[in-house]
A and B are shown apart, each in its own frame.
Chain A
């Protein structure tokens, strides 16, 4: 069984949360100390860029490159916003991290603020993560007490404050500009880009936005160095470790930290306990609800950004949701589309009206009332919705539809030909 020395989960113990004392015992805050005492903000940014770290929130944009667009050296008010909305079904990794070890994120936030010349950070958490919010608030208080946060951190002259913001439950808040509106107390519709948040973000000021897992990696890049971090991945182009969520029809659903680039089959067999009830693997979402499916032919595919793009899907958040051979993929896709249709903010027509239309078509097909014209109309929606909506929610929603049409066209045809769902007695 392939494993790795855990970085983000090194202090994870069942049912326990590690706070300051435990975190420091295993090297916690050494990265912050090194950054503040031995490195300039620019050299921290360079190290992160050289590490090859890519955003773990779903989009996978290189973190160092994203930071290079940020006006780090300009004077004036700037913000760091940590995106902890994590409301995409199949994605629960950030919750696991905050339940186990909240200082991990906090150290990453403080180092990132130092690197980007930022004095104020907000950690945005979804409503369901109340315990995570409590853990973070305790960690912030401990860090302030220990001189690791607040004024003149570790005697360096650097000052930084961190606030926790609790949301109230809407998936769209994970979209970075909708999140900014939400934080400002506005209706969380996405904002038009440009200007990008790095130019005009929270309260109209330059704002860096990164995911929880992304920021929690920063202390390790600083302590271990970019070359070491990059070498942790199993693929040549990959970098670091990844928190993979395993859910659906598995014997042992879980969240595990493994080298980036784990082959799908090994992940399912060795860590998910295999497909449940001795059934066979049929398909999976490789990276949360918005990613096109993988099938049994993809067992050797490395779960990393490029290899998954080559087979027409995405790593997304790394939340792998498995479906067994008795599962109707039309029903799966319908469930996913109902989620996205319900969570659309309603701002633009392709999303507000297009996603309910896709649901309506899938419902007809699943009930056995669908026609070949319905199948054609379903296919057409990929053209009408993809790339035509204001933000990426609709594009993500159509990911499973794209996968259904590419990999399960025969199953769709069977629903029409038989006039019923072939998986229902």
Chain B
């Protein structure tokens, strides 16, 4: 389990859970911590979360698989979420998705061969006034023009390399 989180991280989470009047409310915090450390939540991560929270792995699994921002499969270093909801659709969201597929050489749901990017469609990012919008890792890009995509990807790659 120490490969998923360090002993220190596990101890910290266990302490927080113990101090919480309703430990189960922390299930997303624990899953977020595991995902932040590993990029995704593996079966081993689910089992570790269950131990930390005092739940069964199945109880954790039904939460982990419900939310679309918890990844239960390996993903790239950065996940690209392309908003396909109505505001982004009306301002070129579909063209952004097609261009990203061309630039990355992958289809939605796939990860680039170098493990850098995973491309996913997503529901509304809450950036309707800045449509079309894309989220890469933790960064939200609004009013994205097709011509900008290449340099955005380059800067994201550079950030990982540095």
Are the C-beta atoms of A339 and B87 separated by less than 8 Å? no
Are the C-beta atoms of A168 and B32 separated by less than 8 Å? yes
Which residues on the A side are within 8 Å of B68 (C-beta)? 168-170
A188 within 8 A of B: yes
A184 within 8 A of B: yes
Question: How far is the CB of B40 from the nearest CB of chain A, in Å?
Answer: 13
Q: How many residues of B contact A (CB 8 A)?
A: 37
Are the C-beta atoms of A128 and B140 separated by less than 8 Å? yes
Most chain B beta-carbon neighbours within 10 Å: one of A96, A169, A187: A169
Question: How far is the CB of A251 from the nearest CB of chain B, in Å?
Answer: 12
Are the C-beta atoms of A187 and B86 separated by less than 8 Å? no
1/0 contact string of A332-345 vs chain B (CB within 8 Å): 10011011001101
Which residues on the A side are within 8 Å of B135 (C-beta)? 128
> Could you tell me the distance between the alpha carbons of A200 and B21 in the complex, rounded to whole angstroms?
18
Which residues on the B side are within 8 Å of A167 (C-beta)? 28, 67
A321 within 8 A of B: yes
CB contact under 8 A between A248 and B91, given known A130-B138, A321-B86: yes
> Could you tell me the distance between the alpha carbons of A183 and B26 in the complex, rounded to whole angstroms?
8
Are the C-beta atoms of A95 and B89 separated by less than 8 Å? no
Q: 8 Å CB contacts to A: which residues of B29-78?
A: 29, 31-32, 53, 62-63, 66-70
Which residues on the A side are within 8 Å of B131 (C-beta)? 247-248, 253
Select which of B29, B84, B87, B125 is within 8 A of A321 by beta carbon: B87
Are the C-beta atoms of B22 and A168 separated by less than 8 Å? no
Are the C-beta atoms of A184 and B129 separated by less than 8 Å? no
Select which of B63, B90, B127, B128 is within 8 A of A319 by beta carbon: B128
* CB-based nearest A residue for B21: A203
> Could you tell me the distance between the alpha carbons of A327 and B87 in the complex, rounded to whole angstroms?
13
Select which of A87, A127, A253 is within 8 A of B130 by beta carbon: A253
1/0 contact string of A289-300 vs chain B (CB within 8 Å): 100000000000
CB contact under 8 A between A185 and B128, given known A169-B68, A332-B86, A339-B86: no
Select which of A126, A129, A188, A289 is within 8 A of B66 by beta carbon: A188
1/0 contact string of B108-132 vs chain A (CB within 8 Å): 0000000000000011111111110
- Chain A contacts to B: CB under 8 angstroms: 86-92, 95-96, 126-130, 165-171, 182-188, 203, 245-249, 253-255, 285, 289, 319, 321, 323, 327, 332, 335-336, 338-339, 342-343, 345
